[in-house]
Amino acid sequence: MQVRLVDRHPEVPADQLVAQMVPPPMFDEVSFASYIPDPKEPSQAAAVRKAEDFGGRVAEINRAVNKKSLFGKRKAISGAGLYLDGGFGVGKTHLLASIFHSAPAPKSFGTFGEVTNLVGALGFNNAVERLSANSVLCIDEFELDDPGDTMLVSRLLTELSARGVSIVATSNTLPGQLGEGRFAAQDFLREIKKLGSIFEPVRVDGPDYRHRDLPPAPEPTSPELLTERATATTGSTLDEFDALLKHLSTLHPSKYGALISGVSSVFISNVHQVDDQAVALRIVVLADRLYDASTPVTVSGVKLDEVFSPEMLEGGYRKKYLRAISRLLALSRFEAAETAS
């Protein structure tokens, strides 16, 4: 019988949320040296140098913070801050993970959503205590589209920085607004007023590497072939789109990673365009977790670049939806390449 995601009901204890805050498996082996800057984009080479220098500062601050005074107290030293701003697929997460790997333990890495989920699961004070021993907190895809969450995380970062934890964050600038990147950085700095003086914004320009010289989105698979491929793929799951969306609504987003844990490939039938914001945002989180796990995706129905309505792609969550499309297309091409081989 074909395995389905809708039959899975994962439980993730809150005390494991901090322990699992590490870079996705695809970034396990990355380093500053393995980042290959585009020679046409000088900002990329400059960003590598800035990130590597920041990694060194993190280690220095951590040593100073942990050095006890004559009275046995930790020194009151603020952490450093770095903000990597740029478009989709220019290697910001690669640099973020490289900083994480270069930093002394304990340390944490998570998306903006994962950090807010952590605070929600542990409570604010408990989250501060658990993270305050870190040398660095790496936050991928820092978002400004939810004022409540943004201010919550800003308060968290203020508390952690005061305790000597360095903070590094990435954020996307919309492709149509690359010339306005500095404004995006200033928005970020204004939101975290108390941290603004220590955050250094660094621009990373370039085209989305996931789609350089690649064809358009793959055509959806026929329903019959989809079932056939799912059945023939060991460790895969096959779900009907609406049933999967309904199941996602019953799970906290912090469980989506556990939902797909151990799955070799995801097959989804009858994919169609969605126009409900809550549903669309769940798809975004699932796309992020699938991408983190490098899990191939194959669908029947509409193409994956048509799953979000045109109105949504012009709305306030546009960045999220474009990122999800970018990642889903990369995963669908991965599946297509494996099938061809």
Same domain, yes or no: 86 and 60: yes
Mean pLDDT throughout 268-274? 97
Identify the domain boundary among 210, 235, 265: 210
Q: Is residue 22 one of the residues assigned to a domain?
A: no
Q: Is residue 26 one of the residues assigned to a domain?
A: no
pLDDT of 191 over the 50 cut: yes
Number of neighbouring beta carbons within 10 Å of residue 205: 19
Q: Is residue 252 one of the residues assigned to a domain?
A: yes
Q: How many domains does the chain have?
A: 2
Tens of pLDDT along 205-233? Answer: 887 665 555 556 778 899 999 999 999 99
Identify the domain boundary among 166, 186, 210: 210
Q: Is residue 235 one of the residues assigned to a domain?
A: yes
**Which structural domain, as residue segments, surrounds residue 221?**
5-11+214-340
Q: Is residue 284 one of the residues assigned to a domain?
A: yes
Same domain, yes or no: 229 and 304: yes
Q: Is residue 25 one of the residues assigned to a domain?
A: no
Same domain, yes or no: 145 and 66: yes
Tens of pLDDT along 13-50? Answer: 777 888 889 998 889 999 999 999 989 999 999 999 99
Same domain, yes or no: 172 and 67: yes
Tens of pLDDT along 87-115? Answer: 777 889 999 999 999 999 999 999 888 89
Q: Is residue 108 one of the residues assigned to a domain?
A: yes
Identify the domain boundary among 189, 210, 231: 210
Same domain, yes or no: 47 and 97: yes
| DSSP-assigned letter for residue 133 | T
pLDDT of 336 over the 60 cut: no
* pLDDT for residue 13: 78
pLDDT bucket at 253, cuts 50 / 70 / 90: confident
CA angle 191, 47, 39 (to 5 degrees): 135
Same domain, yes or no: 159 and 145: yes
Same domain, yes or no: 258 and 287: yes
Q: Please count the residues of the chain.
A: 341
Same domain, yes or no: 179 and 237: no
Per residue, the 3-state secondary structure of the chain, as one string, reads CCCCHHHCCCCCCHHHCCCCCCCCHHHCCCCCCCCCCCCCCHHHHHHHHHHHHHHHHHHHHHHHHHCECCCCCECCCCCCEEEEEECCCCCHHHHHHHHHHHCCCCCEEEEHHHHHHHHHHHCHHHHHHHHCCCCEEEEECCCCCCHHHHHHHHHHHHHHHHCCCEEEEEEECCHHHHHHHHHHHHHHHHHCCCCCCCEEEEEECCCCHHHCCCCCCCCCCCHHHHHHHHHHCCCEEEEEHHHHHHHHCCCCHHHHHHHCCCCCEEEEEEECCECCHHHHHHHHHHHHHHHHCCCCEEEEECCHHHCECHHHHCCCCHHHHHHHHHHHHHHHHHHHHHHHC
pLDDT bucket at 183, cuts 50 / 70 / 90: very low
Same domain, yes or no: 305 and 326: yes
Same domain, yes or no: 92 and 164: yes
Same domain, yes or no: 203 and 310: no
Tens of pLDDT along 133-158? Answer: 999 999 998 876 666 777 788 889 98
Same domain, yes or no: 206 and 218: no
The CATH code of the domain that includes 200 is 3.40.50.300
Tens of pLDDT along 58-78? Answer: 999 999 888 755 456 666 788
